[in-house]
Structure 1
């Protein structure tokens, strides 16, 4: 009798505990499914945000490249325009030569030859000959040497120094034409639009003699 009683109790407990465990597991399944869905949704949201960030960065990069290209094109166009402008100055100087060569003489007494103003680039005395004495920006007796006495904004005898003693313009017959100077109030200054253009652009010209005389 005791054996049957014990066996019955064991069976009853087994059924009860078994049902309890199964019931608890059944109740956990929906909770686990909900957590899994939340994780997947969070991962999807994170992926979407990464993709959105990449797209924004791509668009920004493309816009930056377009703007950079536009700016480079503007700079190039400006350089080409200035080059054409300088070339026009050179051509006008050569075209202005009608029979007489115009020489520049500078220094305290106006005795230092500084080159021919309206001679072409092949003339050894030309200020437009990049390889000549008077067309080189490195020569001491060149108006294009911005560190020399005859050139630049501070040269004592430079045509581009407002307070200097500027060079004289003398033709090949020895006739005084006037002074070549940026100072429009200087006595006997040669009034000429072409000379004014040279004075205005002298620095760019001095750096690009070879290009502007092509």
Structure 2
């Protein structure tokens, strides 16, 4: 296997002459990986005299194409060998990697793919405007939460005051009964009710935010 690199219309043309099998596939993968590291992610793999590709080789080439796409690039095959085309076509449908018979069509494919990727990228100004809109939504939500918290706090305070008044009244009534030795028959239930009121007040008091000290 002989490998050489050229550049055509911004596309890196990696020319491979001779069979590509599992033994020399690692050499090819190393060369393509180096191109990725160098920022060259538009790669046209030109195969000449390769013959039929083994399934493992086709699979590895497809994986390399996926890596290229993750880097906003592409990897495609260029060959005129009918046996090679059949081996790729029979491996999976649709083909796992783009395959072209002439260089002009292959280069046009890369140009179209690059234009589509550029259109998909959002304008930084649009992103900034979206972020500003989200910030406004967040501030509005925070303000709404504050209003809800304030209203809920007022309700809790009002309920607390009312319950404190009821407990005080019950305590005074119980105190008078004890002094007069007039303990009602349902004294246990009465004391339980008083304890329930006190527990409710304690629970409500814990829910009321403490006012910040100035």
Q: TM-score, normalised by structure 1?
A: 0.30
Greater strand fraction, Structure 1 or Structure 2:
2
Greater helix fraction, Structure 1 or Structure 2:
2
Q: TM-score, normalised by structure 2?
A: 0.30
Q: Which structure's CA Rg is the greater one?
A: 1
